[in-house]
């Protein structure tokens, strides 16, 4: 009905006010002035329109506050904006919250995804030509690795071990099932840990930056030997752009930083950078490291084999970790109001309950 949008593409990005979503929205709005970008976000504790201040007035950008589980709203958006592509990022994304309250993860990550799939299928069903439903997933669906020489490939069987990863795995299965059953044109990518500006400060790196800044303990779960593969968020956004445009329908692509770090080593590096940036005595921040009770079911190691996306689409991470980490630290130091504004309300309550009583 909304064919009056004479744009080349009309893309629905879900979760565009969150950490990764805001970088994807910015990239698409600026790089493709002839695309209409519709951002549907519920603005949960993790969504923040401050992340998108620089694009909010662009003529090719529309923001809609709403829930991906709201079937009528989602169907209306497809109709109204004649959506021909979906990049689906909206999710409950924090493992620790999923351990506390799994239901919310099932509602948003599973039912929300299926609500979007149904709307896409119904709106596109007469013509799948040029349409794509792109599911943004995680390496956590593959489970946990034991050894340093092991990597997740696209063939690694799913073995989710937390309520979060189980909900993402379930959503991925529905996406594949809709491709197999209804021929819905889908793409999936599974990415490793992202870091960079605008990440909500309950995740390891921004939480630690905030605590160091305020001389608070840095909580390291267990012995700090768990390994994560870190990727700068703008590199992820570029991979998403490439897969959306060049990915082969029905395929899965792993995205990773080729950059596995033990948590304790990463935090020591971060402490050193923070001391330098804040002009503190070397060693000041490291004294804040505090080992706390381990996360229940804590996955030991994630590491991505990203050779397929390199071979087939020519993507590689561009930002080396030292540069990316320093850029991230500087962003948080220059945007302390952003931090202060969001460490309030729901988050503070959660933070008080989950972290403060550990010390």
Active site residues: 139-140, 164
Residue 137, beta-bridge partner list: 190
Q: For residues 231 and 276, is the Cβ–Cβ distance under 8 A?
A: no
Q: Judged by CB, which is closer to ligand DAU: 67, or 299?
A: 299
- Smaller CB separation from ligand NAD, 200 or 332: 200
Whole-angstrom Cα distance, residue 88 to residue 112? 10
In which order are the strands placed within the sheet that holds 132-138? 61-65, 35-41, 9-14, 85-88, 132-138, 186-191, 252-255
Query: How far, in Å, CA of 52 to CA of 26, rounded?
Result: 7
Check residue 226 for interaction with ligand DAU (CB under 6 A): yes
Contact, 112 vs 154, CB < 8 A? no
Shortest distance, position 79 Cβ to ligand NAD, whole Å: 18
Contact of residue 41 among ligand NAD, ligand DAU, none (CB under 5-8 Å per partner type): ligand NAD
Given the complex with ligand NAD, which of 95 and 212 has the nearer CB atom? Answer: 95
For residues 190 to 209, the per-residue mask of contacts with ligand NAD, x marking binding by CB under 6 A and - elsewhere, is: -x-xx-----x---------
Among 11, 20, 64, 304, the residue binding ligand NAD under the rule CB under 6 A is 20
3-state secondary structure of 220: strand
Identify the CA nearest to 22 among candidates 1, 53, 58. Answer: 53
Q: How far is the CB of 138 from ligand DAU (least distance, A)?
A: 3
Q: Where are the beta strands (DSSP E) in the chain?
A: 9-14, 35-41, 61-65, 85-88, 132-138, 186-191, 193-195, 218-221, 227-232, 252-255, 260-262, 289-292
The 286-325 contact track toward ligand DAU, x by CB under 6 A, reads ---------x------x-----------------------
Q: Between the CA of residue 94 and those of 46, 99, 342, what are the distances in Å?
A: 10, 9, 16
Q: Per rule CB under 6 A, is residue 43 in the interface with ligand NAD?
A: yes
From the list ligand DAU, ligand NAD, none, pick the one residue 112 interacts with, judged by a Cβ distance below 5 to 8 Å according to partner type: ligand NAD
**140 binds ligand DAU per the rule CB under 6 A:** yes
User: Vertex 191, ends 63 and 193: CA angle to 5°?
Assistant: 90
By CB under 6 A, residue 21 contacts ligand NAD = yes
Q: By 3-state DSSP, what share of the chain in percent is helix, strand and coil, each rounded to 5?
A: 45, 20, 35
Closest to ligand NAD by CB, 92 or 217: 92
Contact of residue 108 among ligand NAD, ligand DAU, none (CB under 5-8 Å per partner type): ligand NAD
Of the residues 10, 69, 179, 228, which one makes contact with ligand DAU according to CB under 6 A: 228
Q: Is the dihedral of CA 343, 349, 353, 357 positive or negative?
A: positive
Tell whether residue 138 is a contact of ligand DAU (CB under 6 A): yes
x/- track of binding to ligand NAD for residues 108-147 (CB under 6 A): x---x-----------------------x-x---------
Rule CB under 6 A: say whether 89 interacts with ligand NAD: yes
Q: Write out the residues near ligand NAD by the rule CB under 6 A.
A: 14-15, 17-21, 40-44, 46-47, 67-69, 89-93, 108, 112, 136, 138, 168, 191, 193-194, 200
């Amino acid at each position: 009905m909304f064919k009056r949008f004479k744009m080349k593409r009309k893309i629905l990005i879900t979760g565009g006010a969150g950490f990764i979503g805001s970088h994807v929205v910015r990239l698409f709005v600026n790089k493709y002035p002839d695309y209409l970008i519709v951002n549907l976000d519920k603005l949960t504790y993790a969504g923040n329109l401050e992340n998108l201040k620089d694009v909010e007035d662009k003529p090719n950008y529309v923001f809609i506050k709403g829930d991906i589980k709201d079937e009528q709203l989602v169907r209306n958006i497809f109709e109204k904006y004649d959506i021909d592509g979906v990049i689906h990022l909206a999710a409950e994304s924090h493992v620790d919250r999923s351990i506390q309250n799994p239901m919310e993860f099932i509602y948003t990550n599973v039912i929300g995804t299926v609500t979007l799939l149904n709307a896409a299928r119904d709106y596109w069903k007469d013509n799948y030509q040029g349409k794509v439903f792109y599911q943004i997933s995680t390496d956590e669906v593959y489970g946990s690795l034991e050894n340093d020489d092991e990597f997740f490939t696209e063939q690694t069987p799913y073995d989710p071990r937390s309520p979060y990863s189980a909900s993402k795995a379930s959503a991925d299965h529905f996406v594949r099932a809709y491709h197999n059953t209804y021929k819905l044109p889908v793409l999936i990518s599974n990415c490793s840990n992202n870091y960079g500006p605008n990440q909500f400060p309950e995740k390891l790196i921004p939480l630690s930056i905030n605590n160091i800044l305020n001389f608070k303990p840095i909580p390291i779960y267990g012995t700090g030997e768990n390994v994560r593969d870190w990727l700068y968020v703008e590199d992820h956004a570029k991979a998403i752009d490439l897969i959306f445009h060049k990915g082969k329908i029905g395929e899965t692509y792993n995205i990773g930083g080729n950059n596995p770090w033990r948590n304790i080593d990463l935090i020591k590096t971060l402490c050193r950078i923070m001391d330098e940036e804040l002009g503190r005595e070397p060693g000041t921040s490291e004294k804040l490291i505090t080992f706390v009770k381990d996360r229940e079911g804590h996955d030991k190691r994630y590491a991505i084999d990203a050779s397929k996306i390199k071979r087939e689409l020519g993507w590689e991470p561009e930002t080396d970790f030292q540069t990316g980490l320093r850029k991230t630290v500087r962003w948080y130091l220059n945007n302390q109001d952003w931090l202060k504004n969001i460490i309030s309300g729901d988050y503070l309550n959660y933070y008080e309950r989950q972290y403060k009583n550990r010390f």
